[in-house]
Amino acid sequence: MADTEYYELLEIERTADDKTIKSSYRRLAMICHPDKNPGCKDSEARFKAISEAYDCLKDPQKRAAYDRFGKAAFQQGGPGGGRGGADMGGFSDIFDNIFGEFMGGQRGGRGGPARGADLRYDMEITLEEAFHGKPTEIHVDVAALCDTCDGTGSRAGTAARTCSTCAGHGKVRAQQGFFVVERTCPTCHGAGQMIADPCPACNGEGRVDKAKTLSVNVPAGVDEGTRIRLTGEGEAGARGGPAGDLYIFIHVARHGLFEREGNTLFARCPVSFTTASLGGTIEVPGLDGQRHSIRIPAGIQSGKQLRQRGAGMPVLNGRGTGDMVVQIDVETPTKLSARQKELLEEFRATETGAECPQSEGFFSRIKGMFASD
């Protein structure tokens, strides 16, 4: 069984996603767990084998190494394997910092329990909620500290033993020509210790899946993609390691009237051609609950933008607010009474061309083009 391929052990395809890998491991672990098969050496050996396979494939870096090199990636003398050689000093710490991070998180230190994974939660809110802010609650499923073993991973009354592969350092080294490569110990996965008698509740992981309800305060002024960090609310670290963080990503739903650009709100407002010609006032409801009066100057053209200072979005974690910008769309009437048509005909009869200088200028240029022919 030691030579069996990891994907075959977990009965999954090589293209399986994280959810499929985890689900298959849990199903198989329940079947062949030593507590359910007391005295069966084959079940014990298979449980250890699938646990080894899961520990590798659930970690993106380990899985990538395994897909490229197979089990040789984790054997002494293989790519990145083995002990001995010169001290790498700060280079190993640099690699840990680079590859152990996700949205600001970092794995546990040398020879210590690994830090739990950071988690992502996507929250959709309305533009009104983004304007005012929103205290709310979210429900998440996370790997939390096992209450049965208090996160140690060992059965009650037992204790972990020092890993024989890395002598408790959590790291192993390999000499490759002039280079020395240091990596996380493949046996204890950086913990420096091995669980001799696993906790039956968490199978030695020191954590179990739990549902959490968390309070979140969405501040006023948040925008699409704003990230809220809840420190320590991510996955618990394996075997007592520190918990990761939970990152909430904000998504603002499309609004029926306003479009947002930074702290500025944009709205398109149709006005009648008579209001555009004679001038007037329109009212636009703001997100602040007030009705903002916008003065329309006489003779305004379609596309003209009018700015209402201080009627936009509040500045996130700051003072002041942005502006509201109203773009005017002059609407031509499509249904006219007989009297209205008569009045417009009278108006057309009195036109001199000076009323609409752009039209007059345009058609004058056209006449000049034809005259040149």
Annotated binding site: 146, 149, 163, 166, 185, 188, 199, 202
Question: Could you tell me the CA-to-CA distances from 301 to 102, 118, 309, 348 in Å, in that order?
Answer: 52, 53, 21, 19
* CB-CB neighbours of 290 under 10 Å: 11
Q: How far apart are CA 240 and CA 249, in angstroms?
A: 28
Residues 98, 224 contacting (CB under 8 angstroms): no
Annotated binding site for Zn(2+): 146, 149, 163, 166, 185, 188, 199, 202
Query: 44: helix, coil or strand?
Result: helix
How far is C-alpha 231 from the chain's CA centre?
15
Strand locations in the chain (E): 119-125, 134-145, 161-162, 171-176, 179-184, 193-194, 207-218, 227-230, 246-252, 259-261, 264-272, 280-285, 291-296, 305-308, 324-331
Q: How far apart are CA 203 and CA 194, in angstroms?
A: 13
Q: How far apart are CA 198 and CA 257, in angstroms?
A: 59
Q: How far apart are CA 240 and CA 160, in angstroms?
A: 12
Q: Compute the half-sphere exposure of residue 317: CA atoms within 13 Å on the CB side of its CA.
A: 6
Residue 349 carries which side chain, given as an amino acid letter?
A: A
Q: Which of 261, 347, 372, 355 is nearest to 312 (CA)?
A: 261
Question: Could you tell me the CA-to-CA distances from 332 to 104, 270, 301 in Å, in that order?
Answer: 56, 10, 12
Place of tokens 């190993």: 92
Burial environment of residue 119 by CB neighbours within 10 A (0 to 12, 13 to 18, 19 or more): buried
